[in-house]
Amino acid sequence: MSVIYLIRHGQANSTGEDYDLLTDKGKEQAFALGKYMASNGDFPDKIISGTMRRHKETAEFFMKGINSVNSDLKTGFDFHSFDANWNEFPSELWKKYAEHLSGTRPEFQRSLLQFSKVRLKGGVRSAALFFKLTEEILSVWRKGDFTPSGIETFKNFQSRVDLACETYFQPSNSERTFIFTSGTPISLTLKKMLKQDEDVFTWMPWIWNSSVSMFRWVRGRYIPVSLNFLPHIPDKSSRTLY
């Protein structure tokens, strides 16, 4: 009976210049998840990850956690594969839409200025402003009336995430498949798998770093067993959203 574990990457470097790498906390989260899974006998038969660095690093430290419990786990040549369809939209999208909206929406410009002042401090205020800005950016991106040069359209983004779902949410010879991706692909996947009528971005601000959404193959389809679960991080102060 095959199971798919859909996992968001560990905390990334949101206060630095390069978001696409894990913080020390993000590495600890991924390691803790691997250790937790192995301690419960849930060893991966196959790993799939996006091609972004934070996806690869999360899978890497997850496996270090696995190996801390069982260093003799045997893996084949195709044990870990990569699929760019699981990639998040690039950080340039956020920057270019923020620049565009700052020139057309005074309220957005004010919020962006406030965010720039508290961004490096982190905390609740920074997170609230980030998600407020992101919600507006993604709304404009999805509408599709304006797409900056060199930026992937939302239509294409949604199509490739749908393709990733169709490819991997199928019967498999692997009993346990672990997929490492990002918050927005997970949000779109949950909407699709749960057959929800809500906006495609409803889940996106609430997907915890290194969280697990588990799906089990039952009677010809994958059904959700647990969503956005953090069994390896019981301490709330150690949980992060970005």
How many Å apart are CA 200 and CA 179, to the nearest integer? 20
> Is 60 exceeded by the pLDDT of residue 16?
no
Please report the pLDDT score of residue 242 as a whole number. 82
pTM for this one? Answer: 0.92
Please report the pLDDT score of residue 18 as a whole number. 65
**pLDDT tens column, 40-97:** 999 999 999 999 999 999 999 999 999 999 888 878 778 999 999 999 998 899 999 9
How many Å apart are CA 202 and CA 4, to the nearest integer? 22
User: What are the residue boundaries of the structural domains of the chain, listed by start?
Assistant: 3-87+152-238, 91-143
> Is 70 exceeded by the pLDDT of residue 1?
no
How many Å apart are CA 16 and CA 23, to the nearest integer? 10
Assign 3-class secondary structure to 42-94.
Answer: CCCCEEEECCCHHHHHHHHHHHHHHHHHCCCCCCCCCCEEECHHHCCCCHHHH
CATH of domain 3-87+152-238: 3.40.50.1240
The band of 17, judged by pLDDT with boundaries at 50, 70 and 90, is low
Selected residue with higher pLDDT from 215 and 144: 215
The band of 196, judged by pLDDT with boundaries at 50, 70 and 90, is confident
The pLDDT of 113-142, averaged and rounded, is: 85
Please report the pLDDT score of residue 109 as a whole number. 94
**pLDDT tens column, 224-240:** 999 999 999 999 888 99
Mean of per-residue pLDDT scores for the chain: 91
Please report the pLDDT score of residue 14 as a whole number. 65
